[in-house]
Amino acid sequence: MERTVIQVIATMMVFLTLGFQPVFSQVELTRTGCGTTKFCLEDPDKCNPAVNTTPCLFGSAKATAFNSLTGIDLTFELSGNSTGYIALGLTQDASVGSTMLFVCAQNSSSNGTFFFKTMTLHNVNKTLTSQDKNVTGIQNSVVGENIKCKFSVSNLNATAQTRANADTTFSVVIGSGQLNGDTLGPFNLARNSGPLDLSVFLPNSTTNTTAPPSGANRPLYSNAVLPLLSFLTLSILKFA
């Protein structure tokens, strides 16, 4: 009996340690894969988001799947110092139309609490309007001025935004801005990649699926948590 209790407590501790550890872990971004498995854009050129001593606004985009009927799935990384927000945008042409802007921000009136927003940036008059987008797997860390985030967006289609014939060709932009109370101040563009076919960053094994997208909303830590859950269940069964 005593042994079983100890076993259950030990199991609980393993569960707590392993199960909850990822939730509190910081987002760590590196240049690994830049130019081969992910597209990277940074200001200044080639700066490293893992090094905090010099200024570095860094954005990356990795294609995870492409479906010719619905579009491309992308995972993004963003890092930079700001007391307001940093943002990554996708646009067909940064001089006309609009930019889909993904914003990672810290709220200085709430102890630097992280928040995420999707916006439309009107490229001509530079105004920002709120725009809902399905973003999944948002991870973040805010340390002092440094904001880092990671997120995924499914079914992006360049031609659904404006008329063009290149579905996976976007210009990627990165920049930052301040917060004026609860509203986002003007977006200050730092870099614009120019038109870029993001499908070249698809993993070789997953190119050209035409099947309907699946598993896009997979829970983040299912791989780690499932074995732990069964382990825990087994121990409880044993206890009973």
Q: Could you list the residues that contact ligand NAG (CB under 6 A)?
A: 36-37, 52, 54-55, 68, 70-71, 81, 107, 109-111, 115, 122, 125, 127, 132, 134, 143-146, 157, 159-160, 167, 182, 199, 201, 203-204, 207-208
Nearest distance from C-beta of residue 174 to ligand NAG, angstroms:
16
Is the peptide bond between 213 and the residue preceding it cis, with omega within 30 degrees of 0? no
Q: Please, which residue, 54 or 223, has the CB nearer to ligand NAG?
A: 54
Q: What angle do CA 73, 78, 81 make, to 5 degrees?
A: 165
Q: How far apart are CA 97 and CA 120, in angstroms?
A: 10
Closest residue to ligand NAG in the complex (CB):
144
Q: Do 56 and 79 contact (CB within 8 A), yes or no?
A: yes
Amino acid at position 221, single letter: Y
Q: Please, which residue, 159 or 228, has the CB nearer to ligand NAG?
A: 159
Nearest distance from C-beta of residue 96 to ligand NAG, angstroms:
10
Q: Please, which residue, 12 or 216, has the CB nearer to ligand NAG?
A: 216
Helix (H, G, I), strand (E, B) or coil at 32: coil
Nearest distance from C-beta of residue 9 to ligand NAG, angstroms:
31
Q: Do 76 and 150 contact (CB within 8 A), yes or no?
A: yes
Q: Please, which residue, 123 or 235, has the CB nearer to ligand NAG?
A: 123
Nearest distance from C-beta of residue 227 to ligand NAG, angstroms:
27
**Sheet arrangement for strand 128-130:** 128-130, 113-122, 98-107, 85-91, 169-177, 188-197
Amino acid at position 69, single letter: L
Nearest distance from C-beta of residue 234 to ligand NAG, angstroms:
34
Tokens of 104: 């990672």
Nearest distance from C-beta of residue 169 to ligand NAG, angstroms:
11
Helix (H, G, I), strand (E, B) or coil at 128: strand
Q: Please, which residue, 2 or 132, has the CB nearer to ligand NAG?
A: 132
Helix (H, G, I), strand (E, B) or coil at 155: strand
Strands 98-107, 85-91: parallel, antiparallel or unpaired by DSSP? antiparallel
Q: Please, which residue, 3 or 95, has the CB nearer to ligand NAG?
A: 95
Tokens of 168: 């996976």
Q: Please, which residue, 205 or 223, has the CB nearer to ligand NAG?
A: 205
Nearest distance from C-beta of residue 134 to ligand NAG, angstroms:
4
